[in-house]
Amino acid sequence: MGRKAFVGGNWKMNTQRESATALATAVAKATEKASRDVEVVVFPPFPYLLPVGDAIGPRVRLGAQDAYTEASGAFTGEVSVAMLADCGATHALTGHSERRHVLGESDTLVGAKTRAVLDGGLTCVVCVGETLEQREAGETDTVNERQTRAALEGVSAEGMARVVIAYEPVWAIGTGRTASPADAQQAHAALRALLAKLYDDKVAAATRIIYGGSVKGANAAELFGQPDIDGGLIGGASLDAEEFGAIVTAAAKKVH
């Protein structure tokens, strides 16, 4: 079964209203000719979801960088999935390494957020990945497995149709250090084998597993050329529409 390539632009805590809108407009232009076989999503900061949603046009989808587990109530500072959907978001990230390691989110919380995103009807991009220390200790697959199992607890095989897994080695995020295509492929293949174990071969074959960690226009094609790498989650390079457009073009060349 063919998997539609996926490229997400995680803007993190960058841009302001005017620059966010300008970037969204530029991303729409830079990606408008790219094959519809690539799903393109931008993840701006919460306050700019509405203006970015208005500026991205029909080709690019809107995503949120996080979502809270509860629907409403006394949770100061949090944003519910229903609120995100109301602002036009169709996707949300969960478990980004900055939320895990800077903000201290646990595997359990990431699992609860993932279920909330799926229950709310959005597509969930679940991020997993090992630290440098864990990689050097040979724990890459163990960490990925632990984080993935926790994130997908309670997610049905049908629910997996709206899950994208992002493998993002922590040491490669924002560092300019990219995993080699072979190392990334190995981690992706292990994740796909895990999905076969948790669900079945059909779910494993259908689920997009994307790579994140210092992807640029110059290294995207080689990474996306690996059999189990179905696109990328892009941080720094997503703030440059041309660079992001080049990454989307590289994903469009991927044939499964």
Residues that bind ligand PEP (CB under 6 A): 10, 12, 168, 173-174, 212-215, 233-237
Residue whose token pair is 């279920």 = 115
Q: Give the integer Cα–Cα distance in Å for 175 and 197.
A: 33
Shortest distance, position 239 Cβ to ligand PEP, whole Å? 9
Catalytic residue among 39, 91, 96, 188: 96
Q: Which residue, 38 or 204, is less far from ligand PEP as judged by CB?
A: 38
Q: Give the integer Cα–Cα distance in Å for 198 and 159.
A: 13
Shortest distance, position 171 Cβ to ligand PEP, whole Å? 10
What pairing do the DSSP bridges indicate for beta strands 123-128 and 5-10? unpaired
Q: Give the integer Cα–Cα distance in Å for 5 and 255.
A: 9
32 is catalytic: no
Catalytic residue among 39, 98, 145, 168: 168
Shortest distance, position 165 Cβ to ligand PEP, whole Å? 13
Q: Which residue, 120 or 212, is less far from ligand PEP as judged by CB?
A: 212
Contact at 8 Å (CB) between 82 and 71? Answer: yes
Q: Which residue, 43 or 199, is less far from ligand PEP as judged by CB?
A: 43
Q: Where are the alpha helices (DSSP H) in 94-240?
A: 97-101, 107-119, 132-136, 140-151, 181-198, 201-206, 217-224
96 is catalytic: yes
Shortest distance, position 148 Cβ to ligand PEP, whole Å? 16
Residue nearest to ligand PEP (CB): 235
The helix (H) or strand (E) run that includes residue 31 is helix 17-31
Q: Which residues are part of the catalytic machinery?
A: 96, 168
